[in-house]
Chain A
Amino acid sequence: MRRNSRGSWLLAIALAAVAAALPLAFLRNQYNLILLTTVALYGVLTSAWNIIGGMAGQLDLSAGAYLGLGAYTTATLLLRWNITPWVGMFAGGVVAMGFAFLVGFPLFRFRIREVWYALSSSALVVVLQVVFLLWKQVGGPMERLLPSASFSLYNLRFQSYLPYYYIMLVLLLATLFIAYRIRTRRLGYYLLALGDNEDAAEVLGVDARGSKLKALVIYAFLVGITGGLYACIYGFVHTSFFSPTISMEVAILGIVGGLGIIYGPLLATVILVTGRELLRAGLGGRLQSLYLVIYAVVLILIALLRPRGLASLLGAWRKERR
């Protein structure tokens, strides 16, 4: 048991080192750096989703809401009060967290679950999109450009994608670590039990509402920070950041990766988002959306062949070795 976990740690550190070294191979090619950054960004979102979706079993479709809140908070702080995004993204995380609390409190109070939770959480994204569209002081129909100096550490503005990739990688490692800590401690057991059978968990002494609220708030915080970074990478904010598509994709990758398994969503993200982007690049010229069709077919195949997710492939392989 102990040796096994030490091996896992070594493997994790080795993989992190590989991820950090990857850009060395791609340094001259900005396209590849965008790809790496995108994969890392989705990795954060899906790994954070795993806490509420995979462990607590709430089919959450509101990643776009917290992403947008983080982005707008960061942008507004910078544009209005010249507060650096280094601070702004954490403020974005806190705003997302506060919002998640306000939403989660009644939802979990009235035990909204399954499709009803999925519907309410996805409605949230659309509602926020409209609110920011109408909120002229902060949002509005036009993009809000961030200060466009070609380089500014204060404004988190870089000429290359390289620094963004490394910042995202740090956030990804932090997210994985947080997910791991939760999974191996009391809260993780609570969430898994709630995801499995809520009544049974409650009569064993699990505070369902409190535990789910914790999971939701941690998830929102991580996604909110990511939103701040997202705004800096794009150089603007727009109401399309409140994206139902991204929300959906995050949930799909989380499910395909393997519910509640720490590295599952990341594994799915690395394979599928990379594959999708490469397909898009390879086929994009000829057939506009063929890559989406192939992507969808692959997802369906995984769902059919591996109902416990991609991570179960590794699980099976490890069991055989034992």
Chain B
Amino acid sequence: MTALRVQGLRSGYGKVPILAGVDLLVAGGEVVAVVGPNGSGKSTLLKTICGLIRPYSGQILFDGRDMAGRPSYHIARAGISYVPEGGRLFPNMTVRENLLMGAFATPANLKSGLLEEIYTLFPILQRRGRQYAATLSGGEKQMLAISRGLVSSPKILMLDEPSLGIAPKLVEEIYDRLHALKAKGLTVLLVEQNTNFALELADRAYVLENGRIVLEGSGQDVAANPEIKRHFLGL
């Protein structure tokens, strides 16, 4: 079962093209990673899929429907959840309100017990519930961002650099939880520079360079590819 199929996707900022025809596939229940050097267009890819950037051309097929060019709130309501680089929380809302926002905006609303599930995943969020999101530590912010993306029970979760600017120990903790979510069958499209963690988690991976997919394979294959190691990933 295919959850997301991107075909010939071209997009950019204004007249500056970034993605030069990207093809990519995420099957249901699969974790797919997109890795690549700085500025290769990884974030642009996710922003285009979630509708923050209009593509020039190409298709974004989700559950068989083409999402290209639709407003982002449509795409979100269809079940594509996007956790942006740096989290982009609502700083003047409390932790709890941030979580509720994640559920409020979807027609499904908050499934009962889902908040509890989130709290089991990241217990710290329950303790910080009444605190303004602006006052969280970097790691807590990232946990909240991921959780906010999860409470809408999305069909696919798209993560942009969940390890960005976070202490190694917390990165480990976050990836540990991502492994747990994967085991539960969550479909994930993950963008990372921290390739060690990402490729270990991913079933399959794509390498993006200059807006093009240059390599595709299983997580281990990509991680083991000597060319890739040397050129982009600095392993």
Contact = CB atoms under 8 A, between A and B. Distances in A.
Interface of A: 186, 189-190, 192-193, 195-197, 199-208, 259-260
A196 B73 contact: no
Nearest to B149: A204
Contact of A203 (B84, B91, B93, B104): B84
Contacts of B90: 192-193, 196-197, 200-201
A107 to B, nearest CB: 17
30 contacts: A186-B104, A189-B97, A189-B101, A190-B104, A192-B90, A192-B93, A192-B97, A193-B90, A193-B101, A196-B92, A196-B93, A197-B88, A199-B84, A200-B84, A201-B90, A201-B105, A202-B51, A202-B71, A202-B73, A203-B50, A203-B76, A203-B84, A204-B105, A204-B106, A204-B148, A205-B76, A205-B106, A207-B71, A208-B73, A259-B92
B89 interface: yes
A278 B202 CA distance: 69
B143 to A, nearest CB: 16
Contacts of B50: 203
Interface residues of B, number: 27
Nearest to A260: B92
A196 B91 contact: yes
Given A190-B105, A206-B105, A199 B52 contact: yes
Chain A at the B interface: mostly helix, strand, loop or mixed?
A: helix
A202 B106 CA distance: 11
Nearest to A185: B104
B142 interface: no
Interface in B53-96: 71-73, 75-77, 81-82, 84, 88-93
A255 to B, nearest CB: 14
Nearest to A192: B93
Contact of B72 (A186, A195, A203): A203
B102 interface: yes
Given A202-B52, A205-B73, A192 B104 contact: no
B195 interface: no
B27 interface: no
Nearest to A189: B104
B187 interface: no
B100 interface: yes
A189 B100 contact: yes
Nearest to B79: A205
B72 to A, nearest CB: 4
Contact of B101 (A199, A201, A259, A260): A201
A286 B83 CA distance: 61
Contacts of A207: 71, 73
B153 interface: no
A244 B76 CA distance: 40
B88 A199 contact: yes
A205 B51 CA distance: 11
B152 interface: yes
B27 to A, nearest CB: 23
Most chain B CB within a 10 A radius of its CB, from A186, A196, A201:
A196
A204 B152 contact: yes
Q: Of residues B71, B81, B92, which shows the largest number of chain A Cβ atoms within 10 Å of its Cβ?
A: B92
Minimum-distance CB pairs A-B, first 6: A205-B105, A205-B76, A196-B90, A200-B88, A202-B72, A204-B105
A168 B77 CA distance: 42
A212 B191 CA distance: 32
Contact of A204 (B71, B92, B97, B102): B102
Contacts of A208: 73
